[in-house]
């Protein structure tokens, strides 16, 4: 099999890179072992939420204080600006508008009643928390406790009331998850009946916080419709995985990739590359009965760090990049991977491949390791997407840079 | 412990599998792949391996979308299949209905002598009502029509090319042999068009219905005979093409993964198996495919069968269909049509299957294609029944485009 | 002026203390049990779960072996629902002393431990994961025991008869009148303040801490706690217990406990039973040792590791190191050890023999009290026994029968909302306590998904009883403690995903300080946990 560019990985970095490369005129195929962080992340675009443990008010200011080796510093602000700009236009056109800007951090309400710092939030999470806040759960939906959420919001100084709304009759009386509920809310009839109960619960409030399950295929329409029907501003609170706002974003990326003729193949990991004269000539992926070799001109690794299995943390303490064996800076002992306390930062989260400004992976001497190979997203060294809240920002910025460098037509 | 069972170790409980399961999306009876697979597996590993309490496991359709979506490599659907086998064994084996639907060759052999009558009977609503009451086969489940002439009898009277550039062996499977010899004929013509000669090694039912329903012992008997039969072809010509993506997947992977057949002969045969579109796409990559397709001015939906994705070779049919001028192909919006082999024929599962495929029926209604394309036979019958549209295997479209 | 009066104060809420409480209650003796933390947080919460057949001790410690097989049978009578009848195997590896095989068979016969030799082929049929090269295999009636369920059952049986249990109330002093203890002083770690419990007798069942308690009471008792580490695998691998057929040593046992396998263990003398650190080298050692018997363990996913201190007592005339100290138990009457005159200490032993330990202790007490009420604890079943032996698939069967899939809060362990609500309604609000009672958070995700759900339920059922996020943080940190030395491969992916949920999605920052949080945090005894690579380990001794 043969193609032009292969992107390995289908998380935010992989999808963004595939779309950007296809828009830049390349023919792209995505091969991934499975879904990725789109389904786990709360659907926002984190650019730089915290530095040194403290919330960052202006992402751009925070970035200027990051170490030189940080991906944002390597790439420069311009790329990030263009990436964020491009993202906002793309999602808005797809009916999934995001609010916010690089100049100002914002807070996203979570199911625990905490307010996570982030940069861009999808419209259903963007209403301001002001006035009387009704915190509304859905009966039988175990991944949102209005009591717990309300308590957290009260601690932050808000005036809250707690409600539980019964769901209209549907096929999932006893057993359902966020995704089932979101699909049900896509249906106008179900949604209309739900709106009655929701409206009653939110009657005396200026704004209501609900779990992030307001529709899936209908993008933000269901949320907008429920706001109209209830006459109340609605805020979707971020939940544990699976993240419905994340899956919405995944769906629009997938649709865009489909439009661009990009094939996405899930279920089998890429296990290696073929190299000739110091350049990558093909990727080798697992097939049902034999390895599948797909020849290509360029490979973009978007395999994530340890969390994405782009890097394997071995029992003997070594760290191995799982596709091309690129060098990964290690630790003296296995126990150095992790902090003593769970909620502290874990060094393993920042493990990655060192790259140059063109995202080419470098060998231990600081020279590009292999031609025809670029790295994007969480796979990069010198940043911890969770600890500093930068996952989507790095994904988008690196995707944009990769597309610039590999464009068939100048961008 | 089979390797697939060991993959349960890797589950991080993230719920991604639950987002793609088409069955748990439409029914309360199935708690989802995470619960059924790696989670339930931990409770099945003890002394009482023969006593399985899993009522809900029966509702897994085996489509495998969960295995594909899992970022950690947990083979969820396969874990369910292994558990189902234990469940069936603990209940004393398959019920009669399942025993029969698992043996399409047997059913065909019984019906062939009276094929026209059998077809007539199976089209009769009263007969179907009786069948549902007595056997549990849903009265509306699509039943294929027994062909009067088998594929192999067509092949026997077909003259092969005299100077082929290459040769492949053909695993036609039960459906082509008994119900749809025209698909096999199209495949042979398409291959011959590019100078490929086709041979027909002795072969048996791939055994997938037995595997899916949970009779691994019987499946192993078929599989062992199969490997003995095909090992010659695996050596020479060294390529075995299959048009059913279900049969192909079974030969490539399921004997090893589920039946524990890890011998060299099985490995050699599995390595030699190609889905026909995979093979044709490779030919095209090498410039060895005849691309003189005539324009086919039509609109089609391509539904990549769930088990096609289990080959790990992407969707080669799309590349091939793209070579046919004027043919507009839209990708199906669903990952599984619902039929899932024999699942959709069962009285207790038919409605679930129809709900699973609902997105595709809706797409067909709004897109109004001229036909639908799908690589797997039972899916074709189900989709045809649900949409009223003709449904073809990709090679049939190519064959048509060569001859238009 | 005492706040409470009773006949007997039992110190220590582990297996021994709760068994003693039950025995006293069944004999109509009024008693109060005081425990510094939660039931089963000492050695009884940090062990491998083996219901000994005695096979392990037949050669080296025959007295202990006989005690074990007797109690194995007794516990099956009175608490079958706490037991999984897994059976056990002793496998003789070709590289070990082959003569131990015959010695083993002979010693089993002598000590009354049933033993049946299997061919390696038969053994592998029963245990498909066994190593291919075994010389001989012996089957014994090992089982596995759920210690917390057992302790809960003992306490339920006792409290229904009027016994009282004071949790989170450590002993801080004794009031004596000459040679006699008149009262026990405890501190209430949750509500604050102290409490005086007037009593006539004190039974010291503090296990590895018994020496500290006795000293506080003015008595003489020196324990020789033996610290042992254990590794928990995510999967179970084996149907029954697998032992290395050799002289008892380190890394020679694999115990299937519910859905996991616990690999054990080491034995290092320590003077600090609150030291629960685990040396990463011990982790590697135990995995490699277990892999000799079940090769798949070498590449399997590790869940966590933990350590606990055995309550070993070295009788004055005995010598040798920690491994050599007898596992037999001793009832020490302090009136024969220079006082106090009304203090009895019960030390040594195995969790398997806790009931028997309690019987001998209360027999001694009853004699001292000049009564002759007999013990009935060996025959009377505890509440829950009607369920019969536990089977691994029971939780799955229950959920399937009731179609409770949507009710699961801890999905890994199949714990329903109703069961958590019931426990909260009965007074349990600490998530870590719920863990012990219900197995909340024991599974592969280590409370990532159920932790916060449970915190929400606690807040729903008992608003204001805890600070929910602090409760959650304590729980997550406790779960983390066992993972730091065992995280690589799949476990590393899980750890980072969990971190992405709590730091990334929920933005839970470390150290949520609040009055309630600090208070309850203080209520847990300080456990020392730093990863110290000791000099001894560095020199190769282990």
**What does the pLDDT look like over A253-310, one tens digit per residue?**
999 999 999 999 999 999 999 999 999 999 999 999 999 999 999 999 999 999 999 9
H or E stretch including B241? strand B240-242
Enter the DSSP assignment of C528: B
Using pLDDT thresholds of 50, 70 and 90, give the confidence band for residue A54. confident
C124 touches chain B (CB under 8 A): no
In this complex, do A147 and C456 lie within 8 Å of one another by their Cβ atoms?
yes
A171 touches chain B (CB under 8 A): yes
Give C461→chain A minimum CA distance, Å: 10
Are residues C278 and C137 part of one domain? yes
In this complex, do B35 and C443 lie within 8 Å of one another by their Cβ atoms?
no
pLDDT attached to residue C528: 60
Give the CATH fold of the A5-100+247-406 domain: FAD/NAD(P)-binding domain (3.50.50)
B335 touches chain A (CB under 8 A): no
pTM of the prediction? 0.94
Is residue C388 in some structural domain? no
B310 neighbourhood in chain A, CB within 8 Å? 267, 288
C473 touches chain A (CB under 8 A): yes
Question: What distance lies between CA B234 and its chain's CA centroid?
Answer: 21
In this complex, do C444 and B12 lie within 8 Å of one another by their Cβ atoms?
yes
| Digit-coded pLDDT (tens) for A131-165 | 999 999 999 999 999 999 999 999 999 999 999 99
Q: Which of C264, C290, C311 finishes a domain?
A: C311
H or E stretch including A300? strand A298-301
In this complex, do C505 and A314 lie within 8 Å of one another by their Cβ atoms?
no
**C502 to chain A: nearest residue by CA?**
A343
Sign of CA dihedral A191, A192, A196, A202: positive
pLDDT attached to residue C515: 43
- Characterise B340 by phi-psi region: left (phi > 0), alpha (psi -120 to 50), beta (else): left
A81 touches chain C (CB under 8 A): no
For residue C235, what is the domain's CATH number? 3.30.9.10
Beta strand A106-109 with A115-118 is antiparallel
Helix (H, G, I), strand (E, B) or coil at A270: strand
Are residues C411 and C302 part of one domain? no
Nearest to B69 among A175, A266, A286 (CB): A266
Overall CATH class of domain A111-237: alpha beta
C92 touches chain A (CB under 8 A): no
Exposure string of C276-296, with b = 16+ CB inside 10 Å and e = fewer, is bbbbbbbbbbbbebbbbbbeb
Task: Scan for tokens 């790439």, then name that residue.
Answer: A75
> Is the N-terminal amide bond of B237 cis, ω within 30° of 0?
yes
In this complex, do C505 and A333 lie within 8 Å of one another by their Cβ atoms?
no
Nearest to C235 among B9, B47, B49 (CB): B9
B253 neighbourhood in chain A, CB within 8 Å? 288-289
Is residue C123 in some structural domain? yes
Helix (H, G, I), strand (E, B) or coil at A301: strand
B311 neighbourhood in chain A, CB within 8 Å? 287-288
pLDDT attached to residue C538: 37
- Average pLDDT score, chain B: 93
| Digit-coded pLDDT (tens) for A215-232 | 999 999 999 999 999 999
Nearest to C484 among A49, A243, A338 (CB): A338
Give B34→chain C minimum CA distance, Å: 9
Map out the domains of chain B with their CATH numbers: 3-90 (no CATH), 290-403 (3.40.50)
Is residue C112 in some structural domain? yes
What share of chain A has pLDDT > 90, as a percent?
Answer: 93
B48 touches chain C (CB under 8 A): yes
Sign of CA dihedral B65, B66, B71, B74: negative
In this complex, do B48 and C391 lie within 8 Å of one another by their Cβ atoms?
yes
Closest CA to C241 of C115, C77, C118, C91: C91
CA distance A113 to C47: 38
pLDDT attached to residue C536: 33
Strands, E assignment, C311-355:
329-333, 343-348
Please say whether the beta carbons of B29 and B356 come within 8 A.
Answer: no
Query: Strand pairing partners for B238?
Result: none
CATH 3.40.50 residue ranges of chain A are 111-237
B148 touches chain C (CB under 8 A): no
Is residue C292 in some structural domain? yes
- Per residue of chain C (542 residues), give pLDDT as tens: 789 999 999 999 999 999 999 999 999 999 999 999 999 999 999 999 999 999 999 999 998 899 899 999 999 999 999 999 999 999 999 999 999 999 999 999 999 999 999 999 999 999 999 999 999 999 999 999 999 999 999 999 999 999 999 999 999 999 999 999 999 999 999 889 999 999 999 999 999 999 999 999 999 999 999 999 999 999 999 999 999 999 999 999 999 999 999 999 999 999 899 999 999 999 999 999 999 999 999 999 999 999 999 999 988 766 666 677 777 899 999 999 988 999 999 999 989 999 999 999 999 999 999 999 999 999 999 999 999 999 999 999 999 999 888 899 999 999 999 999 999 999 999 999 999 999 999 999 999 999 999 999 999 999 989 999 999 999 999 999 989 899 999 999 999 999 999 999 999 988 754 444 454 455 556 666 554 333 333 333 33
pLDDT attached to residue C319: 61
Between the alpha carbon of residue B109 and those of residues B132, B200, C130, C498, the distances in Å are 22, 19, 45, 56
A269 neighbourhood in chain B, CB within 8 Å? 73
In this complex, do A116 and C417 lie within 8 Å of one another by their Cβ atoms?
no
pLDDT attached to residue B94: 85
For chain C, what is the domain count? 2
> Is the N-terminal amide bond of B315 cis, ω within 30° of 0?
no
Task: Scan for tokens 């996952």, then name that residue.
Answer: A391
Are residues C107 and C253 part of one domain? yes
In this complex, do C480 and A344 lie within 8 Å of one another by their Cβ atoms?
no
Nearest to C392 among B12, B34, B43 (CB): B43
CA distance C279 to A75: 42
In this complex, do C505 and A175 lie within 8 Å of one another by their Cβ atoms?
no
In this complex, do B46 and C235 lie within 8 Å of one another by their Cβ atoms?
no
pLDDT attached to residue B220: 95
Between the alpha carbon of residue A212 and those of residues A105, A126, C308, the distances in Å are 21, 12, 43
CA distance B172 to B178: 10
Strands, E assignment, A17-154:
28-32, 50-51, 54-55, 98-99, 106-109, 115-118, 121-122, 132-138
CA distance B146 to A300: 50
Please say whether the beta carbons of A46 and A390 come within 8 A.
Answer: yes
CATH 3.50.50.60 residue ranges of chain A are 5-100+247-406
pLDDT attached to residue B109: 77
CA distance C326 to C348: 8
Mean pLDDT score, B296-322: 96
C391 neighbourhood in chain B, CB within 8 Å? 46-48, 51
Closest CA to C401 of B54, B252, A163: B54
In this complex, do A177 and B16 lie within 8 Å of one another by their Cβ atoms?
no
Any chains having at least 3 CB pairs less than 8 A from chain A are B, C
Is residue C150 in some structural domain? no
Task: Scan for tokens 């292969």, then name that residue.
Answer: A6
B20 neighbourhood in chain A, CB within 8 Å? 35
Give C237→chain B minimum CA distance, Å: 8
Query: Would you state the torsion angle of the CA atoms of residues C366, C367, C372, C377, taken in this order, to the nearest 10 degrees?
Result: 50
Which of B53, B54, B91 to probe the C interface (max C CBs under 10 A)? B53
User: Which structural domain, as residue segments, surrounds residue C266?
Assistant: 86-143+226-311
A39 touches chain B (CB under 8 A): yes
Distance in angstroms between the alpha carbons of the first and the last residue of chain C: 51
Give B101→chain A minimum CA distance, Å: 26
B285 neighbourhood in chain A, CB within 8 Å? 1-2
In this complex, do B13 and C412 lie within 8 Å of one another by their Cβ atoms?
yes
Predicted confidence (pLDDT) at residue A241 exceeds the cutoff of 60 = yes
Of chain A residues 99-138, which have a CB less than 8 A from chain C? 110-112, 114-117
B318 neighbourhood in chain A, CB within 8 Å? 263
pLDDT attached to residue C527: 63
Task: Scan for tokens 């609170």, then name that residue.
Answer: A237
pLDDT attached to residue C532: 38
Is this complex scored with an ipTM above 0.85? yes
Angle subtended at Cα B360 by Cα B359 and Cα B366, rounded to the nearest 5 degrees:
90
C538 touches chain A (CB under 8 A): no
Alpha helices in C29-146 (DSSP H): 62-78, 99-111, 120-126
Q: Which of C258, C289, C311 finishes a domain?
A: C311
Is residue C185 in some structural domain? no
**A268 to chain B: nearest residue by CA?**
B312
Angle subtended at Cα C338 by Cα C336 and Cα C342, rounded to the nearest 5 degrees:
65
In this complex, do C400 and B55 lie within 8 Å of one another by their Cβ atoms?
yes
Helices A244-259 and A77-93: crossing angle in degrees, nearest 10, is: 90
Helix (H, G, I), strand (E, B) or coil at A42: coil
The Cβ of residue A382 has, within 10 Å, a number of other Cβ atoms equal to 20
Residues 6+ apart with CB under 8 A from A387: A50, A345, A346, A349, A350, C503
Mean pLDDT score, B49-68: 86
Of chain A residues 302-331, which have a CB less than 8 A from chain C? 305-307, 309, 312-315, 317
Nearest to B46 among C128, C393, C443 (CB): C393
């Amino acid at each position: 099999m043969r193609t032009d560019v292969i992107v390995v990985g289908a998380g935010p970095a992989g999808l963004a890179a595939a779309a950007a490369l296809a828009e830049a005129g390349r023919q792209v195929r995505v091969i991934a072992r499975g879904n990725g962080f789109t389904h786990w992340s709360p659907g926002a675009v984190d650019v730089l939420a915290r530095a040194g443990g403290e919330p960052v008010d202006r992402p751009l200011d925070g970035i200027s204080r990051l170490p030189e080796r940080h991906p944002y510093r390597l790439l420069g602000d311009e790329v990030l600006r263009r990436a964020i700009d491009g993202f906002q236009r793309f999602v808005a056109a797809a009916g999934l508008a995001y609010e916010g800007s690089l100049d100002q951090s914002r807070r996203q309400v979570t199911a625990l009643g905490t307010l996570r710092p982030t940069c861009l939030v999808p419209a259903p999470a963007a209403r301001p928390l002001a006035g009387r806040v009704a915190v509304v759960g859905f009966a039988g939906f175990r991944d949102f406790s209005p009591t717990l959420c309300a308590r957290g919001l009260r601690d932050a100084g808000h005036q809250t009331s707690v409600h539980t709304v019964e769901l209209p009759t549907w096929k999932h009386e006893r057993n359902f998850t966020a995704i089932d509920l979101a699909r049900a809310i896509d249906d106008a009839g179900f949604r209309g009946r739900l709106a009655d109960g929701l409206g009653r619960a939110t009657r005396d409030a200026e704004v209501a916080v609900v779990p992030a399950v307001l529709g899936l295929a209908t993008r933000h329409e269901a949320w907008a419709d429920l706001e109209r029907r209830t006459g109340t501003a609605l805020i979707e609170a971020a939940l544990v995985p699976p993240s419905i706002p994340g899956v919405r974003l995944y769906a629009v990326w997938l649709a865009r990739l489909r439009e661009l003729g990009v094939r996405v193949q899930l279920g089998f990991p890429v296990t290696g590359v073929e190299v000739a004269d110091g350049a990558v000539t093909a990727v080798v992926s697992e097939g049902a009965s034999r390895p599948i070799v797909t020849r290509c001109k360029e490979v973009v690794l978007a395999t994530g760090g340890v969390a994405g299995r782009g890097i394997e943390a071995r029992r003997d303490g070594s760290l191995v990049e799982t596709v091309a064996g690129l060098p990964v800076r290690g630790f003296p002992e296995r126990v150095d991977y992790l902090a003593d306390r769970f909620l502290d930062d874990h060094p393993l989260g920042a493990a990655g491949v060192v790259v140059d400004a063109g995202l080419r992976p470098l060998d231990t001497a600081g020279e590009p390791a292999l031609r025809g190979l670029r790295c994007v997203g969480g796979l990069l060294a010198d940043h911890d997407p969770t600890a500093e809240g930068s996952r989507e920002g790095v994904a988008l910025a690196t995707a944009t840079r990769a597309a610039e460098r590999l464009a068939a037509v100048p961008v | 412990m089979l390797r697939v069972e060991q993959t349960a170790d890797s589950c991080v409980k993230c719920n991604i599998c639950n987002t793609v399961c088409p069955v748990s999306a439409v029914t309360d009876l199935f708690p989802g792949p995470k619960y059924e697979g790696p989670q339930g597996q931990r409770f099945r590993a003890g002394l009482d391996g023969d006593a399985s309490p899993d009522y809900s496991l029966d509702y897994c359709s085996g489509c495998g979308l969960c295995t594909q979506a899992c970022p950690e490599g947990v083979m969820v659907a396969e874990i369910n299949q292994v558990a189902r086998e234990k469940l069936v064994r603990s209940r004393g084996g398959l019920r009669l209905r399942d025993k029969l639907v698992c043996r399409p060759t047997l059913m065909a052999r019984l019906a062939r002598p009276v094929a026209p009558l059998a077809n007539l009977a199976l089209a009769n609503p009263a007969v179907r009502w009786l069948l549902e009451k007595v056997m549990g086969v849903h009265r509306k489940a699509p039943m294929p029509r027994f062909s009067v002439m088998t594929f192999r009898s067509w092949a026997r009277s077909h003259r092969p090319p005299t100077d082929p550039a290459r040769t492949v062996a053909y695993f036609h499977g039960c459906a082509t042999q008994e119900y749809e010899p025209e698909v096999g004929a199209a495949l042979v013509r398409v291959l011959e068009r590019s100078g490929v000669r086709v041979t027909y090694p002795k072969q048996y039912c791939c055994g997938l219905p037995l595997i899916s329903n949970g009779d691994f012992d019987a499946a192993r008997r078929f599989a062992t005979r199969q490997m003995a039969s095909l090992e010659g072809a695996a050596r020479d010509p060294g390529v075995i093409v299959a048009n059913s993506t279900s049969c192909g997947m079974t030969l490539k992977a399921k004997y090893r993964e589920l039946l524990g057949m890890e011998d060299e002969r099985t490995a050699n045969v599995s390595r030699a198996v190609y889905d026909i579109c995979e093979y044709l796409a490779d030919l095209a990559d090498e410039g060895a495919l005849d691309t003189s397709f005539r324009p086919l001015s039509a609109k089609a939906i391509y539904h990549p069968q769930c088990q096609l994705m289990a080959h790990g070779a992407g969707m080669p049919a799309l590349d091939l269909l793209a070579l046919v001028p004027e043919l507009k192909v839209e990708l199906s919006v669903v990952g599984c049509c619902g039929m899932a082999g024999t699942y959709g024929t069962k009285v207790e599962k038919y409605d679930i299957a129809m709900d699973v495929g609902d997105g595709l029926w809706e797409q067909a209604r709004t897109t109004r294609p001229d036909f639908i394309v799908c690589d797997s036979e039972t899916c074709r019958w189900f989709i045809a029944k649900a949409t009223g549209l003709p449904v073809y295997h990709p090679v049939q479209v190519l064959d048509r485009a060569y001859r238009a | 002026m005492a706040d409470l009066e009773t006949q007997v104060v039992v110190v220590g809420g582990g297996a021994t203390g709760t068994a003693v409480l039950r025995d006293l209650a069944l004999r109509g003796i009024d008693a109060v049990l005081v425990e510094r933390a939660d039931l089963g947080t000492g050695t009884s919460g940090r062990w491998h779960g083996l219901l000994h057949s005695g096979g392990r001790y037949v050669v080296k410690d025959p007295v202990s072996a006989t005690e074990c097989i007797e109690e194995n049978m007794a516990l099956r009578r009175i608490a079958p629902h706490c037991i999984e009848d897994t059976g056990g195997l002793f496998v003789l590896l070709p590289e070990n002393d082959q003569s131990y095989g015959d010695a083993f068979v002979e010693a089993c016969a002598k000590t009354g431990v049933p033993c049946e030799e299997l061919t390696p082929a038969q053994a592998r049929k029963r245990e498909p994961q066994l190593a291919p090269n075994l010389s001989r295999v012996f089957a014994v009636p090992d089982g596995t025991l759920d210690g917390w369920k057992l302790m809960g059952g003992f306490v339920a049986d006792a409290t229904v008869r009027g016994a009282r249990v004071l949790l989170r109330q450590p002993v801080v002093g004794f009031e004596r009148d000459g040679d006699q203890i008149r009262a026990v002083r405890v501190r209430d770690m949750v509500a604050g303040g102290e409490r005086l419990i007037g009593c006539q007798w004190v039974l010291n069942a503090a296990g590895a801490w018994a020496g500290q308690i006795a000293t506080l009471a003015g008595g003489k008792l020196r324990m020789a706690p033996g610290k042992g580490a254990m590794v928990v695998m995510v999967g179970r691998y084996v149907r029954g217990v697998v032992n290395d057929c050799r002289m008892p040593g380190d890394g020679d046992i694999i115990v299937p406990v519910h859905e996991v396998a616990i690999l054990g263990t080491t034995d290092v003398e320590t003077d600090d039973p609150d030291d629960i650190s685990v040396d990463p080298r011990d982790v590697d050692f135990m995995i490699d040792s277990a892999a000799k018997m079940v090769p798949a363990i070498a590449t399997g996913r590790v869940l966590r590791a933990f350590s606990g201190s055995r309550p070993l007592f070295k009788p004055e005339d005995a010598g040798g190191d920690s491994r050599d100290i007898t596992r037999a138990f001793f009832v020490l009457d302090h009136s024969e050890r220079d006082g106090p005159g009304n203090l009895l200490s019960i030390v040594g032993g195995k969790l398997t023999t806790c009931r028997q330990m309690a019987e001998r202790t209360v027999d001694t007490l009853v004699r001292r009290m000049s009564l002759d009420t007999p013990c009935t604890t060996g025959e009377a079943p505890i509440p829950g026994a009607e369920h019969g032996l536990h089977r691994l698939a029971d939780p799955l069967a229950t959920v399937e029968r009731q179609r409770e899939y949507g009710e699961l809060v801890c999905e890994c362990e199949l714990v329903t909302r109703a069961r958590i609500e019931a426990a909260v309604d009965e007074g349990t609000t600490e998530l870590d306590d719920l863990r012990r009672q219900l197995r909340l958070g024991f599974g592969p995700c280590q409370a990532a998904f159920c932790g916060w759900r449970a915190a929400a339920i606690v807040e729903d059922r008992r608003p204001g009883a805890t600070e929910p996020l602090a409760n959650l943080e304590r729980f997550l940190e406790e779960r983390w403690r066992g993972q730091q030395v065992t995280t690589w491969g799949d476990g590393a992916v899980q750890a980072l995903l969990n971190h992405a949920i709590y730091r990334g999605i929920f933005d839970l920052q470390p150290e949520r300080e609040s009055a309630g949080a600090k208070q309850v945090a203080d209520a847990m005894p300080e456990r020392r946990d730093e990863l110290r690579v000791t000099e001894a380990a560095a020199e190769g001794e282990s």
